[in-house]
Amino acid sequence: MINKPRDITDLPNLSDSQGRVGPVRSRMPIYVDLLPPCNNACPAGENIQEWLRLVKAGEDEAAWIELVKNNPFPAIHGRVCYHPCQTACNRVELDGAIEIHSVERYLGDMAIERGWSFAKPRFSSGQKVLVIGAGPSGLSAAYHLALRGHTVEIRDSAELPGGMMRYGIPEYRLPRDVMEAEIARVVDLGVTIVNNYTVTDLLEEQAEGGFDAVFVAIGAHLSKRVDIPNMDASRMLDAVTFLRNVASGDRQDLTGKKVAVYGGGNTAMDAARVARRLGADDSIIIYRRTEEQMPAHQVEKEEAVAEGVQMNWLRTITSGGEDDLTVEIMELDENGKARGTGRFEKLDVDTVILALGQETDSNFLRKIPGMTFEHDVLRVDPKTLMTDVPGIFAGGDAVPSERTVTIGVGHGKKAARTIDAWLNHRQPTNRPKHDMATFDTLNVWYFGDSMSATQPELDPRTRIADFGEILGGVTTEQARSEAYRCLSCGNCMECDGCLGACPEEAVIKLGKGLRYRYDYEKCTGCASCFEQCPVHAIEMISESAR
């Protein structure tokens, strides 16, 4: 029916028509559903706009159920995701992005507090899938596969599940009880996790276990190394091992020490901040490029500086001494690349932590005939995440991608969908996306200014004394207020504006949650409804398109 929300791709757009209508209607309004930029930007594929709507309506459990359709870890993501959804949020242009991550954390924490659980699968497919790695990507794939009725077993070499969420992200960002509560829900679905288990022959494991498919989700747990001339090896650590040891309870006393962290990514920031918590008097980042070129996220840099971490841009270590480092001062050439200047300076340093990037330990996969690699990661079909070996899929840090928890979780969901299709001998369906609802298409006069919710934060001078969580959660009132700030970009929010604007009473309200339809016998195509719709849920099209 023409009154149903529809995609507007390829329809002639007459919204810029001037004036009123003539004796014969040449254009007509239709209700449409456009793609909100927050949903489009989410690597986990969450329907953010919908669960915000449910929070706004006071339906928190329904909002959580909607959220975990795509992402089983809202309490984790509400803490560690770098929220590209907020960067994309149209409200940035008005008075600041909606604090989506704080509302997501609110729902995740409430679910833990109230004991909400996942709905169990209603049937068993009789098929088995082996997942290698119990990090965010592997756990996400296991969750989505289990919901589809498959028997899933995860095998992981670490002592406990979580991958880099447990062994790479410090507790002050992600409390372990929160992580364990959300992993426990996945186990409750019937997923088996076997820890302290190192896979050496994947094809043999698959055959002996009778697994119909495999998802490889190994993390990047190996630090890249560099030789520093005259540097005593006892004074040099790698960041991944350092953070892993701290997460495992081995907290080296660095009281009074001067620590240099060599690198500019998020792992470098975490290592420098952890060193401060272990008592280091000085914690210094040494990075060979500029601040703008650092791969670390802005919030990580800002929090590190607030905690007393010093930043040395355009510096590279050339050699070590008994209690110092020699660094060369760098400069950018005409192409923006760092080059040496031949000028040097000394830094008093007791310990150096290398944070120059991580690699996956993929040697056990190189024995498989036909498996193809791109540097240290697996080559996969980007549409299906299947490797060159049929039935073996891969995602997260094991494939070419940005290495974040949210991207890993998104890969797990995508892999589960394509594995399920492959097991059932069908092609995975890829629905085309709707057109984007951009800021310039909205009528923002409808929305007043409002301040976003602020999460409570520990003072930087005191929080470095221990590993307690830095950020607190928002209250129910704040979560509701934040959800009310959502502009519902491109999707009807039943404001009744079209109903009130129509001079011909051609708009018919269908009831709460059912939106509206047009009576085209009465509609003259005047576009009053379109012109006032605050969220661009109405489009004017040519009469001939009816």
pLDDT at position 391: 96
Other Cβ atoms within 10 Å of 422 Cβ, number = 18
Res 476 pLDDT > 90: yes
Burial class (CB in 10 A: 0-12, 13-18, 19+), 23: exposed
pLDDT at position 545: 67
> Which tokens is 28 given?
């007509």
Torsion of CA 434, 437, 443, 444, to 10 degrees: 140
User: Mind listing the pLDDT tens digit for each residue in 448-460?
Assistant: 888 788 899 999 9
Res 157 pLDDT > 50: yes
Pairing of the two strands 258-262 and 351-354? parallel
Average pLDDT over residues 32-36: 96
User: Mind listing the pLDDT tens digit for each residue in 117-147?
Assistant: 999 998 999 999 999 999 999 999 999 999 9
Res 70 pLDDT > 50: yes
**Domains annotated on the chain, with CATH:** 1-34+490-546 (3.30.70.20), 37-116+445-480 (1.10.1060.10), 128-221+360-423 (3.50.50.60), 224-356 (3.50.50.60)
Average pLDDT over residues 488-506: 95
pLDDT tier for residue 318 given thresholds of 50, 70 and 90: very high
pLDDT tier for residue 546 given thresholds of 50, 70 and 90: low
pLDDT at position 3: 47
What is the value of pTM for the model shown? 0.91
Res 97 pLDDT > 80: yes
User: What is the overall mean pLDDT for the chain?
Assistant: 92
User: Mind listing the pLDDT tens digit for each residue in 334-345?
Assistant: 998 999 999 999
pLDDT at position 2: 44
Res 12 pLDDT > 80: no
Average pLDDT over residues 55-65: 97
Res 274 pLDDT > 80: yes
pLDDT at position 449: 81
Burial class (CB in 10 A: 0-12, 13-18, 19+), 316: middle
Res 115 pLDDT > 70: yes
User: Which range, 23-27, 248-252, 338-342, is most confident?
Assistant: 338-342
pLDDT at position 22: 59
> Which tokens is 296 given?
């670390």
pLDDT at position 13: 53
pLDDT at position 21: 54
Q: Are 518 and 508 in contact (CB under 8 A)?
A: yes
Distance, CA of 269 to CA of 436 (rounded, Å): 35
What percent of the chain stands above pLDDT 70? 95
Cα–Cα separations (whole angstroms), residue 534 to 36, 83, 367, 499 = 14, 25, 58, 13
Q: Are 129 and 478 in contact (CB under 8 A)?
A: no
